Chains A and B, each alone.
Chain A
Amino acid sequence: MIKKNDHKKAWIALVIAVAVLVLVGALDNLPHVPSMLLTVLQKGAIYALVAVSMNLLNGFTGLFSLGQAGFMLLGAYTYAVLTVPVERQASVYQRYEDGGLGFSVTQSLGNSMGQFGLLLGVVICLILAGCVAGLFAWLIGLPVLKLKSDYLAIATLGFAEIIRAVVQYEKLGPVTNGSNLLYGFTGFTDFHLGSLKLTTVMPFLFSGLCIFVVVLLINSTYGRAFKAIRDDEVAAEAMGINLAKHKRMSFIISSFFAGISGALLAMFQASVQAVAFKAAMTYEILLIVVIGGIGSITGSAIAAFLFVGCSEWGLRFLDNETTLKNFDAKVKFAVVFGVLIAAVVAFGLLRMKRKGKKLVDKVQRDGKTYYQRRITGPILGLGLAIVALGWDVWFVISPRLKLPLLRSGFRMVVFSVIIMIVVLFFREGIMGDKELWDLGKKKRSAKAKAGAGNE
């Protein structure tokens, strides 16, 4: 029966979730754990939620929106404004007289109910953050969702910028602190279970819960309706699905979770400033979604961790000026480099062969034979490889010990190149449109049935 299977899956998922939380909690409290790892985990969890929220809108409903940063901004500010401790409000809002709300939700609840109160306060503020973002989504959605894909992207981008400008407006300063930094509010470090730190467990917990809700939504009848709108909205409308209502629903829900993730980001950074929530942030989220696979929730989560890991940690070495120690080290480096180049060239050639492209194609046209040449790509590639190998040899021979190119900023360049490669050659992303738990099954194609006899 289907029911038993579902129950089993649910229990397995629960066990895995608890195990992950315990593991993360352990990392939080064990000594000698690099703080970079914790940073990556925390930020990764937060970006995973944003990416999932964007995927819900772009990947599952087919609405190309670039307004995520604006909703994150709203959520972040809502949360921060509500939780700055009363006694610090004067110094935080120093440019504005009587700045601040005069109360702090988390402080009030925390004082009366201890850690539990603190948690309750945070949860309330997170939900409020999401609601504010969702409210704005509702307002914006009315005119904007009717637009075609490109225009929708630009309109949402525009709204995000407008929101950013409004939040920084001087007259709203007493509440938002204008264009100044907001800080001092409740962060992840305020949580502890007895003497156990929960700094990384909390974002995982919040993020995980939210993503879980999105997964439930996607697999419900409404989620299927969203997918129908993405695949063919004319047919969806003809089958009784009200486009305006469902698109708005998806938009509001996506923005709700984007708002919560903005609040989580505020908690992580311990400070909030409107200027950080530019279009560039939305682009990063979009790239995460693409790398993970448009239409795959697990893909977005995995890609978020990869993205944050690489940009914060993994590729850091590329930013440091490196001097090799001696000739032996140089040789080792040169060999590794040479092997890498050879591997890339081999991969490229294999790919070409598998796709069946020949270097020179014979084409018959008007009785004459033309030779269609597709040599620019391979020649460029081979040329680059030869140049690289040549430099490799020269580097070993020369007396230099310092590796060129490696200095501040190189990391981001390499990172951007990798992204372009994924976007151009691996458009499906890591997971395509499948989830982690779909990888075992395969949807049977008609070809497989052909063996059993056609009708």
Chain B
Amino acid sequence: MSENVLRVENATMQFGGVVAVDNLNLEINEGEIVSLIGPNGAGKTTAFNVITGVYAPSNGRVEFCGETIVRNHPQGKMKKLYKGQNPELYTSAFRVQAEDAEAKTALEETEKERDPAAFTDKVLAPTPDVITKLGMARTFQNIRLWKSQTVFDNILIAKHLRRTSSLFSATFRLNRREEAAQRADVERLLEIVGLSEAKDELATSLPYGKQRRLEIARALATEPKLLLLDEPAAGMNPQETNDLTEFIGRIRSDLGLTVFLIEHHMDLVMDISDRIYVLDFGGLIAKGTPAEIQNNQRVIDAYLGVAEDA
């Protein structure tokens, strides 16, 4: 049984009256490739944003490699507006359900081990850079490259978070060795994604498919354990999608990463995923292996559809 890398518990994200993510529960284990699919507007990117710290969830907990990294519960005005279940799940009012006192204490102990602050009011809402430093990197639905920088520099900048040199030593070039090591790393990543020849070109001058690959290389430069890809195949033709499928497989096998992806290209999803979660209107409607999902009636009704002449 491989180690758990990501666990999302009862995550709910609510904007005013709109519940974008409704009590999401999911698990990703080491070395898996897991996909999150669903119709547009289902809340997939919002789920990514909650996991990576862009939004603090209205309620819920996110655990990364056994450590709780995000925890929140409805507060203040939100308490009145909150439309989900378990509003006090991660506050001091959190109660474990058990038959007798002994089982209850045992459960409480295990809970405390996972999350020492589970029974307090403490809110954990770090900024995305903290979470990235812990080993989670992501790409974006709409490519967000740094437009004035070259391909090489785009990846090099993503190495900044792993620096050990201070501002002073970096400015006065006392960090030559570290800088050289980082640059060598970037060269290696460029090779892996096949962009070595384009390294001195402006990032925006690359064709769309290559820009996506660049974004992935950039995310890989942060030395993550878990890679989140938001619609990596968007706008790609079948050939490019095939290349990407193979590439994601290599990320898992050669680099030893775990991958969590959002995608609409069903061939890519069914081909490469170990497990799939299906979201609709913010809520989880199905989960399982590709085979199970393909035959799940609810998923077919909500999203996959049936061939017309069946």
- A binding-site residues for B, Cβ under 8 Å: 213, 216-217, 220-222, 224-225, 227-228, 230-232, 234-244, 249, 295, 433, 443-446, 449, 454
* CB-CB nearest in chain B for A238: B128
Do residues B144 and A216 form an inter-chain contact, with CB atoms below 8 A? no
Shortest CB-to-CB span from A8 to chain B, Å, is 16
Distance of A220 Cα from B172 Cα, bound (Å): 9
25 residue pairs bridging A and B, Cβ less than 8 Å apart: A213-B171, A216-B171, A217-B171, A221-B156, A221-B159, A222-B167, A224-B156, A228-B157, A231-B148, A231-B149, A237-B128, A237-B129, A238-B132, A238-B138, A238-B140, A239-B157, A239-B218, A239-B221, A240-B133, A242-B129, A242-B130, A443-B150, A443-B200, A444-B201, A445-B205
Do residues B52 and A446 form an inter-chain contact, with CB atoms below 8 A? no
* CB-CB nearest in chain A for B179: A221
- Mask for B175-202, Cβ within 8 A of A = 1, else 0? 1000100100000000000000010111
Question: Considering residues B133, B182, B200, B201, which has the most beta carbons from chain A within 10 angstroms of its beta carbon?
Answer: B201
Do residues A240 and B160 form an inter-chain contact, with CB atoms below 8 A? yes
Distance of A240 Cα from B224 Cα, bound (Å): 11
Whether B145 sits at the interface, judged by CB under 8 Å, is yes
On whether A446 and B165 interact (CB within 8 A), knowing A221-B170, A239-B157, the answer reads no
Whether B303 sits at the interface, judged by CB under 8 Å, is no
* CB-CB nearest in chain A for B224: A240
Chain A residue contacts of B200, Cβ below 8 A: 443-444
Chain B residue contacts of A240, Cβ below 8 A: 129, 132-133, 158, 160-162, 222
Do residues A227 and B150 form an inter-chain contact, with CB atoms below 8 A? no
Do residues A228 and B146 form an inter-chain contact, with CB atoms below 8 A? yes
Do residues A228 and B201 form an inter-chain contact, with CB atoms below 8 A? no
Distance of A433 Cα from B148 Cα, bound (Å): 9
Chain A residue contacts of B114, Cβ below 8 A: none
Do residues B148 and A227 form an inter-chain contact, with CB atoms below 8 A? yes
Distance of A204 Cα from B145 Cα, bound (Å): 39
Contacting residue for A227 out of B129, B133, B146, CB 8 A: B146
Do residues A239 and B158 form an inter-chain contact, with CB atoms below 8 A? yes
Distance of A220 Cα from B170 Cα, bound (Å): 6
Do residues B146 and A231 form an inter-chain contact, with CB atoms below 8 A? yes
Contacting residue for B163 out of A221, A228, A243, CB 8 A: A221
Chain A residue contacts of B218, Cβ below 8 A: 239
Whether B81 sits at the interface, judged by CB under 8 Å, is no
* A-B residue pairs, 9 tightest by C-beta: A240-B161, A235-B144, A240-B132, A231-B146, A220-B170, A446-B205, A239-B158, A237-B128, A242-B129
Whether B173 sits at the interface, judged by CB under 8 Å, is yes
Interface SS, A side: helix
Whether B62 sits at the interface, judged by CB under 8 Å, is no
* CB-CB nearest in chain A for B140: A235
* CB-CB nearest in chain B for A433: B148
Chain B residue contacts of A221, Cβ below 8 A: 156-157, 159-160, 163, 165, 170, 175, 179, 182
Distance of A102 Cα from B147 Cα, bound (Å): 55
Distance of A266 Cα from B49 Cα, bound (Å): 50
Shortest CB-to-CB span from B126 to chain A, Å, is 10
Distance of A235 Cα from B146 Cα, bound (Å): 8
Shortest CB-to-CB span from A20 to chain B, Å, is 22
Chain A residue contacts of B165, Cβ below 8 A: 221
Number of A-B residue pairs, CB cutoff 8 Å, is 118
Chain B residue contacts of A446, Cβ below 8 A: 201, 205-207
Contacting residue for B132 out of A213, A225, A239, A244, CB 8 A: A239
Chain B residue contacts of A239, Cβ below 8 A: 129, 132, 137, 157-158, 160-161, 218-219, 221-222
Chain B residue contacts of A445, Cβ below 8 A: 201-202, 205
Whether B85 sits at the interface, judged by CB under 8 Å, is no
Chain A residue contacts of B231, Cβ below 8 A: none
Given A235-B146, A240-B133, 4 new contacts (CB under 8 A): A221-B165, A240-B129, A443-B202, A449-B201
On whether A243 and B146 interact (CB within 8 A), knowing A222-B170, A446-B206, the answer reads no
Distance of A224 Cα from B167 Cα, bound (Å): 12
Chain A residue contacts of B128, Cβ below 8 A: 237-238
Do residues B160 and A238 form an inter-chain contact, with CB atoms below 8 A? no
Whether B153 sits at the interface, judged by CB under 8 Å, is yes
Distance of A227 Cα from B153 Cα, bound (Å): 10
Chain A residue contacts of B157, Cβ below 8 A: 221, 224-225, 227-228, 236, 239, 241
Distance of A230 Cα from B148 Cα, bound (Å): 10
Whether B289 sits at the interface, judged by CB under 8 Å, is no
Chain B residue contacts of A227, Cβ below 8 A: 146, 148-149, 157
Shortest CB-to-CB span from B219 to chain A, Å, is 7
* CB-CB nearest in chain B for A217: B171
Chain B residue contacts of A228, Cβ below 8 A: 146, 149, 157, 160
Whether B75 sits at the interface, judged by CB under 8 Å, is no
Do residues A232 and B158 form an inter-chain contact, with CB atoms below 8 A? no
Contacting residue for B171 out of A222, A242, A444, CB 8 A: A222
Do residues A242 and B127 form an inter-chain contact, with CB atoms below 8 A? yes
* CB-CB nearest in chain B for A240: B161
Distance of A216 Cα from B219 Cα, bound (Å): 27
Chain B residue contacts of A449, Cβ below 8 A: 198, 201
Distance of A238 Cα from B179 Cα, bound (Å): 21
Chain A residue contacts of B162, Cβ below 8 A: 240
On whether A235 and B145 interact (CB within 8 A), knowing A216-B172, A243-B129, A446-B201, the answer reads yes
Distance of A364 Cα from B207 Cα, bound (Å): 34
* CB-CB nearest in chain A for B194: A455
On whether A238 and B52 interact (CB within 8 A), knowing A221-B160, A221-B179, A224-B157, the answer reads yes
Shortest CB-to-CB span from B206 to chain A, Å, is 6
Shortest CB-to-CB span from B168 to chain A, Å, is 10
Distance of A454 Cα from B205 Cα, bound (Å): 13
Distance of A14 Cα from B128 Cα, bound (Å): 42
* CB-CB nearest in chain B for A10: B173
Do residues B132 and A243 form an inter-chain contact, with CB atoms below 8 A? no
Distance of A60 Cα from B158 Cα, bound (Å): 17
Shortest CB-to-CB span from B154 to chain A, Å, is 8
* CB-CB nearest in chain B for A446: B205
Chain A residue contacts of B129, Cβ below 8 A: 237-243
Distance of A240 Cα from B157 Cα, bound (Å): 10
* CB-CB nearest in chain A for B162: A240
